[in-house]
Structure 1
Amino acid sequence: MKKTIFITGASRGLGKIWTEAFLKRGDNVAAAVRNTDSLKELSAQFPENLLVIPLDVTNKNEAFEAAAKVKSHFGVIDVLINNAGYGHLGAIEELQEQEIRQQFETNVFGLIWLTQAVIPIMREQQFGHIIQISSVLGVIAFPTLGIYSASKFAVEGLTESLSAEVAGFGIKVTLVEPNGYETDFGASSAVYSKPLAQYDAVRTALQEGNKQEDYGVPEATSEAVLKLIDSENPPLRLLLGKAGVQWVKYAYSERMKTWEEWQTVSEAAHGK
């Protein structure tokens, strides 16, 4: 069934790949981007189905105006995909205040504004699906990616609450948690703090631990996302990629071991 999908961060990477996949199968797509030139070719190819919207997701007013424009243009919003975001790399000591604030402005506040903007629309429709693009690093954390993980951990928490809040309105909610993919995430789209030499060994160890097979093929994610938006009963969480599944399984087994080892201390702290 044809859907109307509102997606942010559609100018490159996974967002652009998914936008093209939606259009090719006949869906209507409202693609929010900072630079509309990035979607010129798709606009020419799908003039009836694609609405390109210039948007700075950190601007709350623009976010609400964009959602209203999508509703006015297509008459409905079946799916919101909050995909806009970027990675900031730097050890915690290396982070500057503005770098921290900007990471959260984009990855967290931008997502909140769009979510708030579409909820009334979907509530009135009595249906809809909000998909938040998180990361496997919203479930586990690696060194020098702490502020990025912090932003995605925030997305995980607020989205889990959101899913319970809006379920009665017929709105479904999903967190998509990709592992690394062969995109420009760590290159042109990433931001790096000024490095301190004291953390060079940490960075080297992380780089040496990277395996090429841990990075997935971006185009392979399209089928999974299409299945997700077509699902009558979508999951709250969906990992994308083989590496992420293994990392999360290991991380949670280790957490359970620790919690169980300290269970008597935890229970004694209850006080009664």
Structure 2
Amino acid sequence: MSKVILITGATKGFGRIWAEAFLKRGDSVIAAGRNITALEDLKNKYGDLVLPIQLDVNDRKASFEAVNKAKEHFGRIDVLINNAGYGLFGAVEETSEEEARNQMETNFFGVLWLTQAVLPIMREQKSGHIIQVSSFLGLITLPVLGLYNASKFAVEGLTETLASEVKGFGINVSLVEPNGYTTDWSGESAFQTQSLSVYDPVKAGFKAAVSAPGIFGNPEATANVILKLVDNDNPPLRLLLGSFAYPAVKKVYEERLEGFEEWKLVSEEAHGA
């Protein structure tokens, strides 16, 4: 049975690739983005299967209106993929208030607004699947991406809580956690803080680390994986994407457990009698 899928950030990158993958197999797609002229070719090719909606996810009112429009048009929403987001590159000290707030507005609050908007529809349907596009940097961190890391850690906490709240309504919730991919996430879509030269060595180390051969995945390879995720009757809460994500996360989590164990007696002392 075909599905009705709402994807934010659908004009490029993962969103665009996934939207077309769903359309190719006959699903209906609400493709939301800031510049829907980029979706004209999909509309011309797939006709009534695609509904382009101009949307800035930072706008809570517009997010609710977009969801309601999608519901009125197709009669239901089976899947929400919260994909809109961007990267802010720069040291924590360099980050301005405006840059920090804008990063959280899009990457965290945008996810929250769309999630809140779609929940009443899915509860009424007694079915649905909410997919939050997080990052393996919602589980571990890299330098010069402090605010991006923080925004994805926030999405992780929100979504894990959400999953425990809505399972009884027949709603599945998943976090997709990609490692680096050759999208424009670190290119045209990225923002840079105003640099302080004292952090140049840190940035040089970061640049060297992410320049390793083969570290970035092919975004086209994710399309079939997302189809499998959407089609699964019992989807996972978390799904890492790419070959570098798992070993990186495993290493950091093992180190965390070792640290907890080392300080276990001190932790228990803090509980009191």
TM-score by length of 1: 0.99
* Structure 2 equivalent of residue 181 of structure 1: 181
Q: Which runs of 5+ in 1 are unaligned?
A: none
Is 2:201 the partner of 1:226?
A: no
1:229 alignment partner AA = V
Q: Which residue of 2 aligns with 1:138?
A: 138
Match runs of 1:120-131 below 5 Å: 120-131=120-131
How many angstroms does 1:227 deviate by? 0.4
Give 3-state SS (helix, strand or coil) of 2:175's partner: strand
CA–CA separation in structure 1 for the residues paired with 2:213 and 2:108: 29
Residue type of the alignment partner of 1:51: L
Q: Distance in 1 between matches of 2:36 and 2:110?
A: 18
| Aligned residue runs from structure 1 range 79-118, under 5 A | 79-118=79-118
Q: Percent identity?
A: 57
Offset at 1:5?
0.2
What is aligned with 1:251? Answer: 252
Instruction: Report the AA paired with residue 68 of structure 1.
Output: N
Unmatched segments (≥5 aa) in structure 2: none
Number of residue pairs aligned between Structure 1 and Structure 2: 272
Aligned equivalents of 1:254, 1:231: Cα separation in 2: 33
Amino acid at match of 2:10: A
Q: Take 1:5 and 1:135, find their aligned partners in 2: how far apart are those partners?
A: 21
Q: What amino acid sits opposite 2:40 in the alignment?
A: K
CA distance in 2 between counterparts of 1:252 and 1:42 reads 42
- Describe the SS at the equivalent of 1:92: coil
Amino acid in structure 1 at the alignment position of 2:45: Q
User: What does 1:143-154 align with in structure 2 at a 5 Å threshold?
Assistant: 143-154=143-154
The whole-number CA distance in structure 2 between the counterparts of 1:177 and 1:167 is 21
Name the residue aligned to 2:37: 37
Name the structure 2 match of 1:53: 53
How big is the shift at 1:209? Answer: 1.4
TM-score in terms of structure 2 length:
0.99
Equivalent residue number for residue 191 of structure 1: 191
Deviation >4 Å, runs of 4+? none
Within 1, Cα distance between the matches of 2:96 and 2:163?
33
Partner in structure 2 of residue 217 of structure 1: 218
Instruction: Specify the SS of the correspondent of 1:152.
Output: helix
Other-structure match for 1:20: 20
User: What whole-Å deviation, never above 9, does each CA across 1:209-253 have from its counterpart, x for those lacking one?
Assistant: 121311100000011100000000000000000101110010101
What is the CA–CA distance in structure 2 between the aligned matches of 1:114 and 1:185, rounded to whole Å?
A: 21
Secondary structure of 1:143's match? coil
